[in-house]
Every structure is written in C-alpha cells, then in structure tokens.
Structure 1
C-alpha cells in the first residue's frame, strides 16, 4: 500500500518570522487523513528569519529530530544542553518525562531552513536525553547514509527511543538506489528534499513524499540531481 503526499497539499503556517509547511496535522492545520504515518507523527519544513525563533516551550514523551538544510539553529534546554546545529548535522532530543527547550536562528543576517520531525516513542517516561552528530555529505553519494537509529545502534549515529531509522541519499541523474528495510513490517517514507525522482510508479518532485507499506525495499531512480530523506518506522 502507498500514500502520496504532494508538496502543495501540505498545511501552511506563516507568522512572519516563521514560514512552516506541515506534512501531517499540526497546530491549526488538521486533516483526519493526515495524522501520522506509523510512528512518524510530525514532519515540519521550517524557515526562520534571522535572530528569530521558538521561545522556551515544553515537550513530553516524544522523539524530536532536527535536520538543518541551510543556516544554523541554536538550541538550549532545561537539561543544560547548549548547541548550534548546522547543515550536515542531525540533532535528536528524547523528551521523555519532560523537557523545556528553545530554538533560534543563530544568524543575524541569514535565514535558517530545517526539518523538525517527531517520532512517537517506544517507551514512555524515560529520562530526557540529547544527541547531535555531524555526517559527511560524500558518504551519501548514490547510496543511503543512515543518520538516525534506535538506542542500541552504533554510537556514530544519532539515536532515539524508537525502532526508527533515518537515511539520506544524494543521487545523480539516471542513477537508482535501493533502500532495504531494517525490520519486517515497517513502513518506508520517502521525502524528496530536492529534485525529481521515480519511486515505484510515482514521480516525486521537490518536497513530495510517498509512504510505502508491505514492502521490504524501495528503489528510487533520480530523473535529475536528487536529494532524498527516508524515514523507516513501525506502523503503530
């Protein structure tokens, strides 16, 4: 089974300092057919103006992954973590029993663009935790580079409290790469960051997405230079 989410069908919110696109129901955007894809609950595509951002606010029992696409994002939380994350890095925060944090554009002159992704946790009420790693872009050339995995995955990955896996690929025009699921029964969600790709019988353009269930692998053919994010999740 597949579910197709076109770029132009995403929810929208513009507060001046923040321009956000919502793949799934979030804030004032609600669509009963777009609540989640398995454990994938939120996929927000955000642009924040210079020196602006999200003031301190709480989260509980959610795995929150941030992937900067351009610019730099400054993070501070109630556990004492202070960091700046940039394109090429991935950050994850397990909210667990509860955490408060803020996120601001670290630049006075340039916008920051990033994805914020929420994953439903495997276990409730764990101790809050923070993780951040940098990844070499060259290692995703015409292949999938895993950047996020479960807590028992190797320490060179960003790890979260769920059997979920995030992978990135930069695919040359005419090339095909195949993603193989880590666990049977998982859903595979393909989000095109930039470009033009063929997935099964669907053409996906920039910011289009396709969720696939009942398959152990998915092949992505690039019709032009293409960047994709794949999120593999349990279908809870």
Structure 2
C-alpha cells in the first residue's frame, strides 16, 4: 500500500488543536470532534479521535451512547471511573490499558475518581487521552477489556497496548477489533529513544514531556506527527516523556 502513497511527515502543534473548555473539562482535539469540524481534518489512517482531556474532581462525562467504534483510553495522571450498560465497571489509572468496543450500541460514563472523606482530600484532576478507531465491521457485540502494563513500560521500549494485528497475537495488552491497527506506548527518561515502526500510516502523539524526532524539529507536550508511507525514525526524549504511537495499515475512504 505504501508504494502508492507519497511519503510525508506532517507536524501538528499543540496550540493548533481544536479546544473545548467548560467548567469541568479542558479538552483538546487532534481531529474534528463535536461542534468542531474541518472537512480537511477528520482522521489520519484509521484514527478518528485523539482527545487530550483534563477533568476536574467530582466531574466527568455522564452516561452517553456510542456505536460501532473501538475506544481506547490511556490515563496519564489521576484515575477515571468507567461504568457501562454491559455491566462492566472499573477504575482506569496510569499504566492500565483499557478498550471498549461499542459495537451494536453501548452506554457508558466516565468520572474523575477523586473524592473527599473526613479530613483527607483527594482532589486531583484526571488527565487522559481517548482514541477512537473504526472496527473491521459494524454490528459486533459490545465488549470491554483492561490490563495493567505498568511493569512493561519500565523497559523504555515501545510497548504494544492495543492491537488487532496478527503480529501482536498474545503480545498486545488488549485486543481491538481492527486487524490493520495497533497502539504502542513508551515512557522515556531523558536520553532514551525508541524507533518508530514502518507503516503506510503512523500517528505519534506526545501527551507529556519533550522529545526530538530524528530528521525534524523538537516536539513538546501536546504535539503530534502524522506520517504517511514512512517510518523507522528514532524518537529521543529530551526530558522525561510519554509517547503514544498508532501503526495503521489502512485508511478510511
């Protein structure tokens, strides 16, 4: 597929993202989302949503529906309570991979897990990235999966977080219902580096810290890069950082 594509490295700066800011939510959108629409910025490869959200204590997303979408949530700070109409509930925290398959339809809520009790206060914001990719086919049975991978992240390598690709059978933390997509994460100390995969479509996001992408410019918190028909570059942390990388071997029409 990549032989039919023109190689391109498209840097998207944090400050250029769409923004939704209300009393309890500070959200930045890499692609068109909600009331923000740009027909030239609806997706990259199979990735439709890359929302960088901060939710205040005691608040969150009330029960709302989704359909025919694979939704992966990655928490960077704090904790997030998930509840859905299939009976799943849990607390998502840093190092825990979580996937919800909306399929034929699902209702869920997501709330900041901070609380107050007596003289103790746990009132931190929760910071997380939520990413959506389409499934291979519509109408699948809704589902939920989560697994802690904090130990694997200590390696400083790219760790497969969520994948539907055959090469990650038994290796990825959680499975998504798209055989052309995989998400990796890496936690890097200053000076550590990883090599990006080579694929028709890649999406690199820096949710915290600062890195240098080989052959290009420095990247800071909130910056992203959309790669087409390229890969293999090294990403080196210039300060402690966390990166999220989507490898995709197909795109939306």
What TM-score, normalized to structure 2?
A: 0.86
Can you list the C-alpha shifts for 1:69-92, whole angstroms capped at 9, x where unaligned?
A: 111111111111111111111211
Q: Is 1:38 aligned to residue 45 of structure 2?
A: yes
Q: Which has the larger radius of gyration?
A: 2
Can you list the C-alpha shifts for 1:203-222, whole angstroms capped at 9, x where unaligned?
A: 21111010111124232122
Q: Structure 1 stretch 135-144 or stretch 195-204: which is displaced more?
A: 135-144
Aligned to 1:73: 80
Q: Is 1:221 aligned to residue 228 of structure 2?
A: no
Q: Is 1:122 aligned to residue 136 of structure 2?
A: yes
Aligned to 2:3: none
Q: In the alignment, is the contact (CA less than 8 A) between 1:140 and 1:168 conserved in 2?
A: no
Q: In the alignment, is the contact (CA less than 8 A) between 1:105 and 1:111 conserved in 2?
A: yes
Aligned to 1:161: 177
Q: Is 1:5 aligned to residue 20 of structure 2?
A: no
Count of residue pairs the alignment pairs up = 233
Residue aligned with 2:86, SS: coil
1:101 Cα deviation after fit: 0.8
What TM-score, normalized to structure 1?
A: 0.92
Q: Structure 1 stretch 166-175 or stretch 52-61: which is displaced more?
A: 166-175
Residue aligned with 1:8, SS: helix
User: Using a 3 Å threshold, how does the CA distance of structure 1 residues 36 and 207 change in structure 2: closer, same or farther?
Assistant: same
Q: Is 1:206 aligned to residue 221 of structure 2?
A: yes
What is the alpha-carbon distance in structure 2 between the residues aligned to residue 24 and residue 156 of structure 1? 26
Q: What's the C-alpha RMSD, in Å, of the aligned pairs?
A: 1.8
1:121 Cα deviation after fit: 1.4
Q: 2:63 aligns with which of 50, 56, 61?
A: 56
- Which sections of structure 1, spanning at least 5 residues, go unmatched? none
Q: 1:84 aligns with which of 88, 91, 113?
A: 91
Residue aligned with 2:186, SS: strand
Q: Is 1:194 aligned to residue 203 of structure 2?
A: no
Residue aligned with 1:154, SS: coil
Residue aligned with 2:36, SS: coil
- Which sections of structure 2, spanning at least 5 residues, go unmatched? 1-7, 116-122
User: Using a 3 Å threshold, how does the CA distance of structure 1 residues 30 and 137 change in structure 2: closer, same or farther?
Assistant: farther
What is the alpha-carbon distance in structure 2 between the residues aligned to residue 118 and residue 45 of structure 1? 12
What is the alpha-carbon distance in structure 2 between the residues aligned to residue 140 and residue 179 of structure 1? 18
Can you list the C-alpha shifts for 1:134-167, whole angstroms capped at 9, x where unaligned?
A: 1125634432111111175227611111121111
Q: Is 1:175 aligned to residue 192 of structure 2?
A: yes
Can you list the C-alpha shifts for 1:108-151, whole angstroms capped at 9, x where unaligned?
A: 22211111111111111111110111112563443211111117
Residue aligned with 1:34, SS: coil
Q: 2:164 aligns with which of 150, 153, 168?
A: 150
